Structure 1
Amino acid sequence: MRPIPAGFIQTLILTVTDEMTVDFGELGAVHPVYATYWLAKHFEEAGRKIILPFLDDGEGGIGSQVEVIHTGPALPGMTVTVTATFTAQEGRRIHADMRAVTELGDEIGHGSTTQFVLPQTRIDANFEALRDRWAAHREPGK
C-alpha cells in the first residue's frame, strides 16, 4: 500500500430513497427518515474510497470498525454528502473520520471507520475457509 497523504478526502453523494428509511423487518416501519444502519453503510463505503487509490496490485481492504453518531434526520429525496477524511495509518490499519451533511447544510451524522489492507488472496482464503466450515456444519448427520 502506498502512503495516503495527510488530510486526504473522498466524498460519497447519495439521494435518500424510501428503501433507506427505518424499517426493522420483523418490527415493521418505524420512521420515514434515513436509517442509522444505512448511514453506517455509507460511512463504510466512503471510508473504502479513501484506500482505493493507494492499494497496490493484489491488495484489498476489509472493514473492521464503523462508529456512527446519528444526529439528525434526512427525508427521502434529500441529497446527503458523506465526507471521509483520512486521519491515520497504523501499519495496515487505516482510520478515517466521517461527516454526513444534507443539501440543506445540516449535519446529520459523524463518526469514523477503520479498515485493514491485506493481500486479496488472504481475504479470499479466509472467506473460503468460512464457506467450507459452514458447508460442513450444514451437512446432514453432522
Structure 2
Amino acid sequence: MRPIPADFTQTLTVTVTDEMTVDFGELGAVHPVYATYWMAKHFEEAGRKIILPFLEDGEGGIGSQVEVIHTGPALPGMTVTVTATLTAQEGRRVHAGMRAVTELGDEIGHGSTTQFVLPQTRIDANFETLRARWAAHTRDNS
C-alpha cells in the first residue's frame, strides 16, 4: 500500500430510499427515516474509497471497525453525503473519520472506520477456510 496523503478525503452521495428506512424484519417497520445500519454501510463504503487509489496490485482491503453516532433524521428522497477523511495510517491499518450531511446542510451522523490492507490472496484464503469449516459443520449436523 502506498502512503495516503494527510487529510485525504472522499465522498459518497446517496439518495435515501424506502428500503433504507428502519425496519427490523421480525419487529416490523419502526421509523420512516434513514436507518443507522444503512449509515454504517455507507460509512464503510466511503472509507473504502479512501484506500482504493492507494492499493498496489494484489492488495485488498477488509473492514474491521465501524463507529456510527446517528444524530438526526433523513427522509426518503433526501440526499445524504458521507465525507470520509483519513485520520491515520498505521502500516496496513487505515483509519478514517466520517460525517453524514443531508442536502439541507444538517449533520445527521459522524463516526469512524478502520480497514486493514492485506494481500488479496490472504483475504481469499481466510474466506475459503471459513467455507470449509462451515461445510464440515453443516455436514456433521445434518
Q: Per the shorter chain, which TM-score range?
A: over 0.9
Aligned length: 142
Question: Which residue in 2 is equivalent to 1:111?
Answer: 111
Output one character per residue of 1:83-105: Cα deviation in whole Å (capped at 9) or x when no partner: 00001011110000000000000
Percentage identity across aligned positions? Answer: 89
Question: Which residue in 1 is equivalent to 2:80?
Answer: 80
Question: Which residue in 1 is equivalent to 2:5?
Answer: 5
State the 1:44 CA deviation.
Answer: 0.2
State whether structure 2 residue 137 is matched by structure 1 residue 137. Answer: yes
State whether structure 2 residue 26 is matched by structure 1 residue 26. Answer: yes
- What TM-score comes out, normalization by structure 1 length? 0.98
Partners of 1:58 and 1:15 in 2: CA distance = 33
Instruction: Give the alignment of 1:61-100 within 5 angstroms.
Output: 61-100=61-100
Runs of 4 or more, structure 1, over 2 Å off, are none
Partners of 2:20 and 2:79 in 1: CA distance = 12
Partners of 2:53 and 2:72 in 1: CA distance = 31
State the 1:140 CA deviation.
Answer: 4.3
Partners of 2:7 and 2:14 in 1: CA distance = 22
Closer, same or farther in 2 for the Cα pair 1:8/1:141, shift >3 Å? closer
Partners of 2:29 and 2:40 in 1: CA distance = 19
Closer, same or farther in 2 for the Cα pair 1:135/1:98, shift >3 Å? same
State the 1:38 CA deviation.
Answer: 0.1
Partners of 1:76 and 1:8 in 2: CA distance = 30
SS at match of 2:2: coil
SS at match of 2:49: helix
Give the CA RMSD over aligned residues.
0.9
